[in-house]
Amino acid sequence: MAGRINDEDIALVRERARIDNIVGAYVTLRNAGGGSLKGLCPFHDEKTPSFQVTPARGLFYCFGCGVGGDVITFMQKIDNLTFTEAVQTLADKVGVQLRIVDDGKPSLPAGLRVRIMEANKLAAEFYSKALAAPEALEARRMLDGRGFDRPAAEHFGVGYAPRDGRALHRHLNHAGFRDDELVSAGLIREHGGWDYFQGRVMWPIKDSGASVLGFGARHLYDDDRLPAKYINTPETPVYKKSHVLYGLDLARQNIGKKLQAVVMEGYTDVMSAHLAGVDTAVAVCGTAFGPDHARLLQRLMGNNDSTQGEIVFTFDGDKAGQAAALKVYKLDRSFTTQTYVAVEPNGLDPCDLRMAKGDAAVRELVGRREPLYRYVMAHTVAGYDLDRADGRVAAVRAAAGMLASIRDANLVGEYVRDLSRLVGMDVDEVRRILKQARNQGAGGRREPPVPVVSEDADPVEPGDSPGWPDRNDRNLDVERGTLKLMLQHPTLFDTAWNGVSTSDFTHPAFRALFGAILSTPYVPTGWTDSLQQATGDELVRQLEIALLVEPILRSPDEGYASAYTSRLKLLTTARAIDDLKSWLQRTNPLQDKDAYDAMFMKLLDLETSRKKLSQASLGLTE
């Protein structure tokens, strides 16, 4: 179906999708005062929060990287969506049925995403209910054999897909869903209409808001036509396997509170962990842990300080587990928190460990975690013949690049000592080899060192654009403050904006922004939206957003607004006086008496105006 979304529906989505709720699902936000919330920016790495959300205005802005906008813009940027996809995603979350206006462009059918989410919800309920049926005896036995009783299955929403092959299809048809909708949801197959999942144990995969996005399924029967032990929902408009984590709905709040995420390899591992008290456990779904998962967890952690927070990976003790650890190590730079690995010495996964030794053993597994660097270093060194001198030297050189990439410089010395113990060499000799390897590039293995960024460093403005006003330029404070008041509290000014003119602004971006304000008649509702639409320059649009969310340090009133505009005009007058004095100094009063006298009289008028404006601006304290 071709078309564009009805403008009224877009406005309704903006109204219903509270920006603090939407952003809060990705970023841990804390009260910043003045009705604003603050957190670490999800769009660039930072240690000091500069990402601000203003719920009353429905806007966000990062004073570090300059990204800003409304709730739709946020969804576009955070999930790499088109405008239409972002609106559809938000509409799903807030229950808005979108109407499509035909414009000849391809688009998802109106309301398809909502229908998919509704179908997934009913499917999860259907599978859960089917687990209690006589046919599901084998599924119940499997769960019981893994240590999960009925309350546990209900808590995690575990279900069963009947072997009938069309049971879910009939059930959802009866509920009013068309076949094309069910195919789009990945619940039935396009050819033949067979249920996508048959004769399997089912796990619903949910987003952080507990909406069902898709399913994971484990085989039970030897005659299953699909050989894979686990299969997942195919890619759909709502299910992207590289963007989802099983258990996220249960773990999200605890991850934010405890600054810890435990990444496991399977659905039963996550269940076992939560039942054992490790309530920050999640798992990937049918794919390897990737950079999108890393970014998702980093945002949920809500803290990019390398001295706080941790992400713990649990792997089997076999070669496959070691290989998985090495793959995760390559993604380590995606995190700024510390990364750890927890491997059970006997090779048991968390589910088997819980069955064999109880809940405490699972908690102890996570408690005995070791730094990922140390784990990888040990397995790197193990690949060399340490009984030979050249093997020991080669092992140290192989570890050089890894040591160079450690983010926390305070840990390097300890890891060098660990390395010397692993290879059986004197620590000073290890340091000498590492230094030599660094100088020689370690045979091409060395990774570039990570830049050290001071925690006290001030955020930089976007893109180093010469057109962006420098927030540290105190000469621009009054211009910035006046525009903040105009944008956030326009009714405190008279219809002529207290007599302010474009010439009162010295910075081109501020001047352009005020020009847009002058050309956009004020209306009580939607004025800032109209202002955004009327602004042609992207930099000026971003500046508008920045000033709309930037806090005002006191409760403003008309007197405060008047004092600001008086101070602004006072600065303009002071500049005019300086210019005039310069002309007078360069003018001969005898040879050009008339011009000199005229300029002198004008100077007196300006001095009088300066005194009045200075008096009027005394109420300005910000």
User: What would the pLDDT profile of 503-534 be if each residue is shown by its tens digit?
Assistant: 999 999 999 999 999 999 998 888 988 888 88
Dist. CA 333–CA 315, nearest whole Å:
19
pLDDT at 375 (0 to 100)? 86
User: Nearest-5° angle of CA 119, CA 124, CA 128?
Assistant: 150
**Which of helix, strand or coil describes residue 398?**
helix
Instruction: For residues 149-168, give the mean pLDDT.
Output: 96
Instruction: For residues 380-402, give the mean pLDDT.
Output: 84
Taking only the tens place, the pLDDT of each residue in 28-49 is 999 988 889 999 998 887 888 9
Q: Which of 75-79, 125-129, 596-600, 618-622 has the least mean pLDDT?
A: 618-622
pLDDT at 113 (0 to 100)? 78
Taking only the tens place, the pLDDT of each residue in 252-287 is 878 878 889 999 989 999 999 999 999 999 999 988
Write down the H helix ranges in 189-305. Answer: 248-258, 267-276, 291-301
Instruction: For residues 324-352, give the mean pLDDT.
Output: 80
Tell me whether residue 386 is exposed, middle or buried, using C-beta atoms within 10 angstroms of its C-beta: 0 to 12, 13 to 18, 19 or more. Answer: middle
Mean pLDDT of the chain: 84
Ramachandran angles phi, psi of 457, nearest 5°: -65, 140
Instruction: For residues 429-456, give the mean pLDDT.
Output: 56
Instruction: For residues 471-486, give the mean pLDDT.
Output: 89
Q: Is the pLDDT of residue 182 over 90?
A: yes
Dist. CA 516–CA 539, nearest whole Å:
13
Torsion of Cα atoms, 85 then 87 then 93 then 95, to 10°: -120
Q: Is the distance from CB of 197 to CB of 215 less than 8 angstroms? A: yes
pLDDT at 1 (0 to 100)? 37
Q: Is the pLDDT of residue 108 over 70?
A: no
pLDDT at 150 (0 to 100)? 95
Q: Is the pLDDT of residue 622 over 60?
A: no
pLDDT at 213 (0 to 100)? 93
End-to-end CA distance of the chain: 54
Instruction: For residues 524-551, give the mean pLDDT.
Output: 87
pLDDT tier for residue 482 given thresholds of 50, 70 and 90: very high
Instruction: For residues 491-502, give the mean pLDDT.
Output: 92
Closest to 69 in 3D by CA, of 23, 12, 7: 23
Bigger pLDDT: 575 vs 312: 312
Instruction: For residues 409-431, give the mean pLDDT.
Output: 83
59: which strand partners? 54, 70
pLDDT tier for residue 181 given thresholds of 50, 70 and 90: very high
447: which strand partners? none
Q: Is the pLDDT of residue 137 over 90?
A: yes
Looking at the chain, the whole-number percentage of residues with pLDDT higher than 90 is 39
Instruction: For residues 293-300, give the mean pLDDT.
Output: 78
Write down the H helix ranges in 441-537. Answer: 477-488, 508-519, 527-534
pLDDT at 446 (0 to 100)? 39
Bigger pLDDT: 560 vs 329: 560
pLDDT at 123 (0 to 100)? 97
Write down the H helix ranges in 188-260. Answer: 248-258
Taking only the tens place, the pLDDT of each residue in 194-235 is 999 999 999 999 987 688 999 999 999 998 988 899 999 999
Instruction: For residues 370-374, give the mean pLDDT.
Output: 87
pLDDT at 441 (0 to 100)? 58
Which residue has 């460990």 as its token pair? 353
pLDDT tier for residue 110 given thresholds of 50, 70 and 90: low
Dist. CA 401–CA 341, nearest whole Å:
20
Neighbours of 113 (CB within 10 A): 24
Instruction: For residues 86-105, give the mean pLDDT.
Output: 75
Side chain identity at 415, as an amino acid letter?
Y
Looking at the chain, the whole-number percentage of residues with pLDDT higher than 70 is 88
Ramachandran angles phi, psi of 289, nearest 5°: -65, 125
Dist. CA 364–CA 344, nearest whole Å:
10
pLDDT at 334 (0 to 100)? 61
Over the Cα atoms of the chain, what is R_g?
Answer: 31
Neighbours of 230 (CB within 10 A): 16
